[in-house]
Amino acid sequence: MIDTEVLVVGGGLAGLGAAHYLTHRGRTVHVLERSSGPGGTWRENTYPGCECDIHPALYSYSFTRLPSWISGQADHHQILRHSRLLADRIHRTARVDYDTEVTACRWNDTDARWYVHTRTGALHRARFLLLATGALNVPRIPRFAGSFAGPVLHTARWNHDLDLRGARVGVIGTGASAAQLVPALTDHACRVTVFQRTPAWVLPRPRTRVPLPYRARRTVEYWRNETLLPALIGSQRRRTALEARALRHLHAQIPDPVLRRALTPSYRIGCKRIIFSNTFYPALRRPTTILKTSPITELAADAVHTADGRRHEIDVLVHATGFHVSAALMRMPVHGRNGISLQEIWARDGAAAHLGTTMAGIPNAFVLGGPNTGVGHTSVLFMLESQFRYIAAALEETDRIGADALVVREQAQHRFTTRIHHDSAATTWTRGGCHSWYLDREGINRSLWPGPTWRYRLHTRTFDLHNYTSIRASAGDSDGVDPVEPGHQRTGTSTATTFD
Ligand code: NAP
């Protein structure tokens, strides 16, 4: 059994960032990562043109800035470099095990510890558990009648051995990934057919001509993005102005009225993720690009059939069709007090966590990038950094009051979730006339933070101990006891204290 204080599941930017933050506050941290290197989503997404449309001065942690990022462009190589830099620093202070997939996490009340099983057969015991498995890493592949006989790719599962020079490529989807992929593909492929189901709102990507020092650039980018928010969370005047800006961009880049009509969204801006791009529309104008808006009806061995009766011959099919949200976490059993299953609760009641971070019944555990901590208009790393501060404060408070564990009170989580649903009611995500991965099957916003990101920073600045119950281990050190087997949660006789 491998003992540690803080066990982090996931070695992407979230897990590594948390590990870095906590080791610098004197915590002993152990990271378990399924793949063979750091980087998470930026390791998996290597499709041509893959980059981050948020300025790198903001899409980076305030504690790991890279001077070269002042350039303003961050492709996946540069972001991976960021992850590796973070990982190199962490390797000096914490243990990181790659090729180690976690299969189950079980809380044991008797010794107030997490028992974490891995596919390699190792058993880890930890006081605190950080779940940093990411929200968008299980590809969503739509099912169509028939099947395509040629190579089939997903944007997050690219095959770089495939030579696309001169190929006829079909791309399904027009989300943020497709908007980066299509311009890159049109440089090489002989023909690109884009199958669009719903057009995206596209805003021009701001150019950063004036060089600024890192902090100043970060501040400028932060507030530039934050000014988009009122249009998304209820201001009709700001939304109309933002839509007008996007339509001006469309008119400027697409002179053909027929193509322009096909690319004009019929839902409110921001309802789906806004695309920030200066290259997507020009790529669709190229003579070698075809935009198809007629729905796909069937796949043939060498073609895609659409509802207008047309057959589109292709050599390679690319799914730019997004992801099953939080599927990695939903597939990894996490059992809290008395064996309660996080997955069963979330599947039944919808994903919820107090401040998007701590979950009722699941002591000493924190989910990074959890429910309602996502953002569509700015850097998610800003939200994650807020979570790191909150988690560090939670650990300090647990020690300060002499508790073995803290668990968030159900009422506190309920209050937070009710507030989030209230604040989401007037937003473009729920009212914008579209369906996106931001919403669950019932149309409830379970993904995005419905307010300014600085407000989330304020909410998480100090640890709200009154919303937690403390737990004391009932049986002291249980070193050498049998690990808790899946499905057999040991029921402890721990004592619990509430703070109000
Ligand atoms: P996505 O936003 O979920 O887009 C998927 C696309 O596939 C949509 O256009 C969707 O159409 C289409 N689609 C899905 N199923 C289809 C079907 N059966 N037939 C036809 N079309 C279908 O996925 P994504 O583009 O990979 O982006 C996912 C998220 O990753 C983004 O929202 C963003 O948060 C993040 N991302 C960020 C960046 C960045 O630069 N920061 C870059 C890439 C991705 P409908 O709209 O009709 O469903």
* 387-409 pLDDT, tens digit each: 999 999 999 999 999 999 999 99
Beta pairing class for 123-131 and 365-367: parallel
Ligand 1 within 6 A of CB of 175: yes
| Residues 229/274, Cβ–Cβ less than 8 Å | no
Q: Report whether 408 contacts 359 (CB < 8 A).
A: yes
- With a pLDDT cut of 90, the percent of the chain lying above it is 80
Q: Where are the alpha helices (DSSP H) in 208-273?
A: 214-226, 229-233, 236-253, 257-262
The per-residue pLDDT for 66 is 62
* Residue 225 CB-half CA count within 13 A: 26
Both tokens of residue 5?
């204080």
- pLDDT tens-digit map of 4-15: 999 999 999 999
Strand ranges in 81-167 using DSSP code E only, listed in sequence order: 95-97, 102-108, 113-118, 123-131, 138-139, 145-146, 152-154
Higher pLDDT, 357 or 136: 357
Three-state SS at 366 = strand
Mutate to test the pocket of ligand 1, among 153, 177, 434 (most ligand atoms within 8 A of CB): 177
The tokens describing 36, both together, are: 């063979």
Residue 272 Cα, ligand 1 centroid: separation in angstroms? 9
Secondary structure of residue 149 in the 3-state scheme: coil
CATH 3.90.650.10 fits 145-319, yes or no: no
Minimum mean pLDDT among 59-68, 159-168, 474-483: which range?
Answer: 474-483
Q: Is the CB of 58 under 6 A from ligand 1?
A: no
The 10s digit of each residue's pLDDT in 434-459 is: 989 999 989 999 999 999 999 999 99
Same fold, 2-138+324-482 and 145-319: yes
Give yes or no for residue 447 CB within 6 A of ligand 1: no
Ligand 1 within 6 A of 178 CB? yes
CA pseudo-torsion sign 246, 252, 254, 258: positive
The verdict on the CB of residue 155 being under 6 Å from ligand 1 is yes
- Reading phi first (left if > 0) and then psi (alpha if -120 to 50, else beta), residue 494 is in beta
Per CATH, the homologous superfamily of domain 2-138+324-482 is: FAD/NAD(P)-binding domain (3.50.50.60)
Give the closest residue to 332 by CA, choosing from 81, 132, 89, 121. 132
| 355 dihedral zone (left: phi>0; alpha: psi -120 to 50; beta) | left
Q: CA geometry: angle at 375 spanning 370 and 376, to 5°?
A: 140
The pTM for the full model equals 0.93
> What CA–CA distance (Å, rounded) separates 30 from 4?
7
Q: What is the CB-side half-sphere exposure of residue 71 using CA atoms within 13 A?
A: 8
Give the pLDDT confidence of 215-266 residue by residue, as tens digits.
888 999 999 999 999 999 988 999 999 999 999 999 999 999 999 999 999 9
For a mutational test of ligand 1's pocket, the pick from 137, 138, 140, 273, i.e. the residue with the most ligand atoms closer than 8 A to its C-beta, is 273
Nearest to 155, CA basis, from 298, 272, 279, 51:
51
Contact criterion met (CB below 8 Å) for 229 and 377: yes
Distances (CA, A) of 384 to 151, 178, 251: 37, 26, 37
**What integer best gives the mean pLDDT of the chain?**
91
d(CA 475, CA 208) in angstroms, rounded, equals: 59
Could you state, in order of their start, the residue ranges of all structural domains in the chain? 2-138+324-482, 145-319
Distance 479 CA to ligand 1 centre (A): 47
Length of the chain: 500
**Tell me, what's the pLDDT at 89?**
85
Ligand 1: which atom is nearest the Cα of residue 434? 46
